[in-house]
Structure 1
Protein backbone atom coordinates (compact mmCIF):
# COMPACT_ATOMS: atom_id res chain seq x y z
CA UNK A 1 0.00 0.00 0.00
CA UNK A 2 2.82 2.39 0.83
CA UNK A 3 4.44 1.74 -2.54
CA UNK A 4 1.18 2.61 -4.30
CA UNK A 5 0.94 5.88 -2.36
CA UNK A 6 4.55 6.69 -3.23
CA UNK A 7 3.85 6.02 -6.92
CA UNK A 8 0.74 8.21 -6.75
CA UNK A 9 2.64 11.11 -5.21
CA UNK A 10 5.48 10.63 -7.69
CA UNK A 11 2.99 10.94 -10.56
CA UNK A 12 1.52 14.07 -8.96
CA UNK A 13 4.99 15.52 -8.49
CA UNK A 14 5.77 14.92 -12.17
CA UNK A 15 2.46 16.52 -13.17
CA UNK A 16 3.35 19.70 -11.27
CA UNK A 17 7.11 19.88 -11.86
CA UNK A 18 7.04 19.62 -15.67
CA UNK A 19 4.57 22.49 -16.24
CA UNK A 20 6.41 24.59 -13.65
CA UNK A 21 9.71 23.98 -15.44
CA UNK A 22 8.11 24.82 -18.80
CA UNK A 23 7.12 28.17 -17.29
CA UNK A 24 10.21 28.86 -15.15
CA UNK A 25 12.89 28.24 -17.80
CA UNK A 26 11.64 30.80 -20.38
CA UNK A 27 10.90 33.27 -17.58
CA UNK A 28 14.46 32.91 -16.25
CA UNK A 29 15.95 33.32 -19.73
CA UNK A 30 13.80 36.36 -20.44
CA UNK A 31 15.34 38.17 -17.47
CA UNK A 32 18.92 37.00 -18.05
CA UNK A 33 19.16 37.20 -21.84
CA UNK A 34 21.50 39.71 -23.44
CA UNK A 35 20.21 39.88 -27.01
CA UNK A 36 16.98 41.56 -27.98
CA UNK A 37 15.70 38.59 -30.02
CA UNK A 38 16.34 36.17 -27.14
CA UNK A 39 14.51 38.47 -24.74
CA UNK A 40 11.55 38.72 -27.11
CA UNK A 41 11.28 34.98 -27.74
CA UNK A 42 11.68 33.94 -24.11
CA UNK A 43 9.36 36.69 -22.80
CA UNK A 44 6.72 35.68 -25.36
CA UNK A 45 7.02 32.00 -24.40
CA UNK A 46 6.80 32.93 -20.73
CA UNK A 47 3.68 35.04 -21.37
CA UNK A 48 2.04 32.17 -23.26
CA UNK A 49 2.81 29.59 -20.58
CA UNK A 50 1.75 31.98 -17.81
CA UNK A 51 -1.57 32.63 -19.56
CA UNK A 52 -2.13 28.89 -19.91
CA UNK A 53 -1.41 28.52 -16.19
CA UNK A 54 -3.93 31.24 -15.33
CA UNK A 55 -6.55 29.52 -17.49
CA UNK A 56 -5.67 26.26 -15.73
CA UNK A 57 -6.39 27.84 -12.34
CA UNK A 58 -9.72 29.10 -13.66
CA UNK A 59 -10.55 25.66 -15.09
CA UNK A 60 -9.57 23.99 -11.80
CA UNK A 61 -12.12 26.07 -9.92
CA UNK A 62 -14.83 25.36 -12.51
CA UNK A 63 -14.30 21.64 -12.99
CA UNK A 64 -14.34 21.02 -9.25
CA UNK A 65 -18.08 21.76 -9.12
CA UNK A 66 -18.98 18.87 -11.41
CA UNK A 67 -16.96 16.08 -9.80
CA UNK A 68 -19.91 13.97 -8.64
CA UNK A 69 -23.06 16.05 -9.12
CA UNK A 70 -23.93 19.71 -9.65
CA UNK A 71 -23.21 21.61 -6.45
CA UNK A 72 -20.55 19.17 -5.25
CA UNK A 73 -18.14 21.97 -4.34
CA UNK A 74 -20.84 23.89 -2.51
CA UNK A 75 -21.86 20.93 -0.35
CA UNK A 76 -18.28 19.89 0.30
CA UNK A 77 -17.20 23.42 1.20
CA UNK A 78 -20.25 24.62 3.12
CA UNK A 79 -21.65 21.42 4.66
CA UNK A 80 -25.22 20.23 5.20
CA UNK A 81 -26.45 23.59 6.51
CA UNK A 82 -24.17 26.46 5.42
CA UNK A 83 -22.89 28.92 8.01
CA UNK A 84 -25.27 31.83 8.35
CA UNK A 85 -28.43 29.73 8.09
CA UNK A 86 -29.97 28.72 11.43
CA UNK A 87 -29.44 24.99 12.09
CA UNK A 88 -32.67 24.58 14.04
CA UNK A 89 -34.78 25.39 10.95
CA UNK A 90 -33.72 22.20 9.17
CA UNK A 91 -34.12 18.47 9.79
CA UNK A 92 -31.18 16.55 11.27
CA UNK A 93 -28.59 14.92 9.03
CA UNK A 94 -29.84 11.53 7.78
CA UNK A 95 -26.90 10.58 5.56
CA UNK A 96 -23.43 11.94 4.87
CA UNK A 97 -23.39 15.69 5.61
CA UNK A 98 -21.84 16.40 2.22
CA UNK A 99 -24.33 14.40 0.12
CA UNK A 100 -26.87 17.15 -0.35
CA UNK A 101 -28.67 20.02 1.30
CA UNK A 102 -31.95 19.69 3.19
CA UNK A 103 -34.96 19.99 0.85
CA UNK A 104 -35.94 23.30 2.46
CA UNK A 105 -32.73 25.00 1.26
CA UNK A 106 -32.72 26.39 -2.25
CA UNK A 107 -29.30 26.92 -3.78
CA UNK A 108 -27.49 27.90 -6.93
CA UNK A 109 -23.86 27.92 -7.95
CA UNK A 110 -21.84 29.60 -10.65
CA UNK A 111 -18.36 30.52 -11.74
CA UNK A 112 -17.22 34.05 -10.99
CA UNK A 113 -14.19 36.05 -12.06
CA UNK A 114 -13.71 38.23 -8.98
CA UNK A 115 -13.14 36.59 -6.62
CA UNK A 116 -12.09 33.71 -8.85
CA UNK A 117 -13.91 30.46 -8.17
CA UNK A 118 -17.31 29.10 -7.32
CA UNK A 119 -20.06 31.29 -5.90
CA UNK A 120 -22.67 29.35 -3.94
CA UNK A 121 -25.90 31.09 -2.97
CA UNK A 122 -28.37 29.64 -0.47
CA UNK A 123 -31.85 30.64 0.61
CA UNK A 124 -34.62 29.17 2.71
CA UNK A 125 -37.44 28.11 0.36
CA UNK A 126 -40.09 29.30 2.84
CA UNK A 127 -38.34 32.64 3.31
CA UNK A 128 -36.49 33.57 0.04
CA UNK A 129 -35.29 36.97 1.26
CA UNK A 130 -33.10 35.16 3.82
CA UNK A 131 -30.10 34.49 1.56
CA UNK A 132 -26.34 33.98 2.01
CA UNK A 133 -23.53 33.66 -0.52
CA UNK A 134 -20.17 31.94 -0.12
CA UNK A 135 -17.12 32.18 -2.35
CA UNK A 136 -14.06 30.07 -3.12
CA UNK A 137 -10.87 30.50 -1.16
CA UNK A 138 -9.01 33.79 -1.76
CA UNK A 139 -5.90 31.88 -2.87
CA UNK A 140 -7.52 31.08 -6.25
CA UNK A 141 -7.93 34.81 -6.87
CA UNK A 142 -4.38 35.60 -5.76
CA UNK A 143 -2.82 32.94 -7.99
CA UNK A 144 -5.03 33.72 -11.02
CA UNK A 145 -4.47 37.47 -11.01
CA UNK A 146 -0.79 37.05 -10.09
CA UNK A 147 -0.28 34.89 -13.18
CA UNK A 148 -2.21 37.37 -15.32
CA UNK A 149 0.04 40.16 -14.00
CA UNK A 150 3.19 38.20 -14.87
CA UNK A 151 1.83 37.48 -18.36
CA UNK A 152 1.10 41.17 -18.97
CA UNK A 153 4.58 42.12 -17.72
CA UNK A 154 6.17 39.59 -20.07
CA UNK A 155 4.10 40.80 -23.02
CA UNK A 156 5.27 44.35 -22.33
CA UNK A 157 8.87 43.13 -22.10
CA UNK A 158 8.53 41.22 -25.38
CA UNK A 159 7.19 44.27 -27.20
CA UNK A 160 9.68 46.72 -25.70
CA UNK A 161 12.86 44.65 -25.66
CA UNK A 162 15.34 47.49 -26.10
CA UNK A 163 18.16 45.98 -24.09
CA UNK A 164 21.27 45.30 -26.17
CA UNK A 165 24.23 42.98 -25.69
CA UNK A 166 26.80 43.92 -23.16
Structure 2
Protein backbone atom coordinates (compact mmCIF):
# COMPACT_ATOMS: atom_id res chain seq x y z
CA UNK A 1 0.00 0.00 0.00
CA UNK A 2 1.25 3.45 -0.95
CA UNK A 3 0.88 6.87 0.58
CA UNK A 4 -1.97 8.59 -1.24
CA UNK A 5 0.34 11.57 -1.81
CA UNK A 6 2.70 9.36 -3.84
CA UNK A 7 -0.12 8.30 -6.18
CA UNK A 8 -1.45 11.87 -6.40
CA UNK A 9 2.05 13.18 -7.13
CA UNK A 10 2.48 10.67 -9.92
CA UNK A 11 -0.65 12.00 -11.62
CA UNK A 12 0.28 15.65 -10.95
CA UNK A 13 3.78 15.20 -12.33
CA UNK A 14 2.50 13.20 -15.31
CA UNK A 15 0.11 16.04 -16.14
CA UNK A 16 2.92 18.58 -16.06
CA UNK A 17 5.24 16.31 -18.08
CA UNK A 18 2.71 15.86 -20.90
CA UNK A 19 1.61 19.52 -20.80
CA UNK A 20 -1.83 18.63 -19.46
CA UNK A 21 -1.81 19.90 -15.87
CA UNK A 22 -4.65 18.61 -13.74
CA UNK A 23 -6.98 20.53 -11.49
CA UNK A 24 -8.14 19.16 -8.17
CA UNK A 25 -11.40 17.73 -9.55
CA UNK A 26 -9.68 15.64 -12.20
CA UNK A 27 -7.02 14.51 -9.73
CA UNK A 28 -9.70 13.35 -7.27
CA UNK A 29 -11.47 11.38 -9.99
CA UNK A 30 -8.24 9.75 -11.18
CA UNK A 31 -7.46 8.72 -7.61
CA UNK A 32 -10.95 7.26 -7.24
CA UNK A 33 -10.68 5.24 -10.44
CA UNK A 34 -7.14 4.08 -9.59
CA UNK A 35 -8.25 2.92 -6.15
CA UNK A 36 -11.42 1.19 -7.40
CA UNK A 37 -9.80 -0.52 -10.37
CA UNK A 38 -6.83 -1.39 -8.18
CA UNK A 39 -9.06 -3.30 -5.77
CA UNK A 40 -10.40 -5.58 -8.50
CA UNK A 41 -7.17 -5.90 -10.48
CA UNK A 42 -5.02 -6.82 -7.46
CA UNK A 43 -7.25 -9.21 -5.55
CA UNK A 44 -8.57 -6.55 -3.14
CA UNK A 45 -5.21 -4.99 -2.29
CA UNK A 46 -5.57 -1.32 -1.41
CA UNK A 47 -3.56 0.99 -3.66
CA UNK A 48 -3.19 3.75 -1.08
CA UNK A 49 -3.65 4.49 2.60
CA UNK A 50 -6.57 6.95 2.57
CA UNK A 51 -10.29 6.17 2.43
CA UNK A 52 -12.60 7.15 -0.40
CA UNK A 53 -15.32 9.32 1.12
CA UNK A 54 -18.47 11.08 -0.01
CA UNK A 55 -18.72 14.76 -0.81
CA UNK A 56 -21.47 16.77 -2.48
CA UNK A 57 -19.65 16.65 -5.81
CA UNK A 58 -18.86 12.95 -5.63
CA UNK A 59 -16.24 10.71 -4.08
CA UNK A 60 -13.10 12.37 -2.70
CA UNK A 61 -9.98 11.60 -0.75
CA UNK A 62 -10.21 14.25 1.97
CA UNK A 63 -6.54 13.90 2.83
CA UNK A 64 -5.72 15.25 -0.63
CA UNK A 65 -8.64 17.69 -0.72
CA UNK A 66 -7.51 19.42 2.48
CA UNK A 67 -3.97 19.77 1.17
CA UNK A 68 -5.10 21.33 -2.11
CA UNK A 69 -8.31 23.23 -1.34
CA UNK A 70 -6.45 26.53 -1.03
CA UNK A 71 -5.64 26.25 -4.75
CA UNK A 72 -9.29 26.15 -5.82
CA UNK A 73 -9.50 25.10 -9.46
CA UNK A 74 -5.95 26.14 -10.34
CA UNK A 75 -3.79 23.80 -12.35
CA UNK A 76 -1.65 21.56 -10.16
CA UNK A 77 2.01 21.91 -10.98
CA UNK A 78 3.82 21.09 -7.73
CA UNK A 79 3.88 17.81 -5.84
CA UNK A 80 2.02 17.43 -2.58
CA UNK A 81 4.44 17.39 0.35
CA UNK A 82 4.10 14.83 3.08
CA UNK A 83 4.92 17.52 5.62
CA UNK A 84 4.63 21.28 5.39
CA UNK A 85 8.14 22.71 5.19
CA UNK A 86 9.03 25.88 3.35
CA UNK A 87 12.67 24.87 2.99
CA UNK A 88 12.47 21.22 1.88
CA UNK A 89 8.96 21.00 0.44
CA UNK A 90 9.78 19.14 -2.79
CA UNK A 91 12.27 16.84 -1.08
CA UNK A 92 9.56 15.60 1.26
CA UNK A 93 7.02 14.87 -1.46
CA UNK A 94 6.34 11.13 -1.66
CA UNK A 95 6.95 9.74 -5.12
CA UNK A 96 6.96 6.44 -6.95
CA UNK A 97 10.37 5.18 -8.06
CA UNK A 98 10.34 3.83 -11.64
CA UNK A 99 13.54 1.86 -10.88
CA UNK A 100 11.75 -0.11 -8.15
CA UNK A 101 10.12 -3.26 -9.59
CA UNK A 102 6.90 -2.94 -7.54
CA UNK A 103 6.58 0.78 -8.24
CA UNK A 104 7.14 0.17 -11.95
CA UNK A 105 4.14 -2.20 -12.06
CA UNK A 106 2.03 0.42 -10.29
CA UNK A 107 3.21 3.08 -12.75
CA UNK A 108 2.10 0.89 -15.68
CA UNK A 109 -1.30 0.52 -13.99
CA UNK A 110 -1.57 4.28 -13.28
CA UNK A 111 -0.65 5.03 -16.89
CA UNK A 112 -3.61 2.88 -17.99
CA UNK A 113 -5.89 4.87 -15.65
CA UNK A 114 -4.42 8.08 -17.09
CA UNK A 115 -5.07 6.99 -20.69
CA UNK A 116 -8.65 5.99 -19.90
CA UNK A 117 -9.80 8.93 -17.79
CA UNK A 118 -7.52 11.98 -17.88
CA UNK A 119 -8.88 13.34 -21.16
CA UNK A 120 -12.48 13.36 -19.94
CA UNK A 121 -14.00 16.63 -18.76
CA UNK A 122 -14.46 17.29 -15.05
CA UNK A 123 -18.22 17.54 -15.65
CA UNK A 124 -18.36 14.14 -17.36
CA UNK A 125 -16.16 12.50 -14.72
CA UNK A 126 -18.27 13.92 -11.90
CA UNK A 127 -21.54 12.89 -13.56
CA UNK A 128 -20.24 9.37 -14.14
CA UNK A 129 -19.35 8.98 -10.45
CA UNK A 130 -22.78 10.20 -9.32
CA UNK A 131 -24.70 8.11 -11.86
CA UNK A 132 -27.28 5.44 -11.12
CA UNK A 133 -25.71 2.34 -9.56
CA UNK A 134 -22.44 3.91 -8.42
CA UNK A 135 -21.35 3.55 -4.78
CA UNK A 136 -22.11 7.25 -4.24
CA UNK A 137 -25.62 6.77 -5.65
CA UNK A 138 -26.21 3.68 -3.50
CA UNK A 139 -25.26 5.58 -0.35
CA UNK A 140 -27.55 8.44 -1.35
CA UNK A 141 -30.46 6.03 -1.80
CA UNK A 142 -29.69 4.22 1.45
CA UNK A 143 -29.57 7.36 3.60
CA UNK A 144 -31.76 9.73 1.57
CA UNK A 145 -28.82 12.04 1.08
CA UNK A 146 -25.05 11.80 1.13
CA UNK A 147 -23.34 13.28 4.16
CA UNK A 148 -19.86 14.62 3.53
CA UNK A 149 -17.18 12.34 4.89
CA UNK A 150 -19.07 9.05 4.77
CA UNK A 151 -16.61 6.28 3.92
CA UNK A 152 -17.32 4.36 0.74
CA UNK A 153 -16.19 0.94 1.86
CA UNK A 154 -14.00 -1.24 -0.29
CA UNK A 155 -16.71 -3.86 -0.78
CA UNK A 156 -19.01 -1.27 -2.36
CA UNK A 157 -16.21 -0.32 -4.74
CA UNK A 158 -15.47 -3.96 -5.54
CA UNK A 159 -19.17 -4.61 -6.20
CA UNK A 160 -19.16 -1.68 -8.64
CA UNK A 161 -15.84 -2.27 -10.42
CA UNK A 162 -15.89 -6.09 -10.64
CA UNK A 163 -18.72 -6.22 -13.21
CA UNK A 164 -16.90 -3.54 -15.23
CA UNK A 165 -13.76 -5.69 -15.15
CA UNK A 166 -15.70 -8.78 -16.27
CA UNK A 167 -17.34 -6.82 -19.07
CA UNK A 168 -13.95 -5.54 -20.18
CA UNK A 169 -12.50 -9.07 -20.12
CA UNK A 170 -15.34 -10.29 -22.36
CA UNK A 171 -14.42 -7.66 -24.94
CA UNK A 172 -10.84 -8.92 -25.17
Bin of the TM-score, shorter chain as denominator length: under 0.3
Q: Relative CO higher for 1 or 2, CA cutoff 8 Å, sep ≥ 6?
A: 2
- Highest CA radius of gyration, 1 or 2? 1
Per the normalisation by structure 2, the TM-score is 0.20
Per the normalisation by structure 1, the TM-score is 0.21
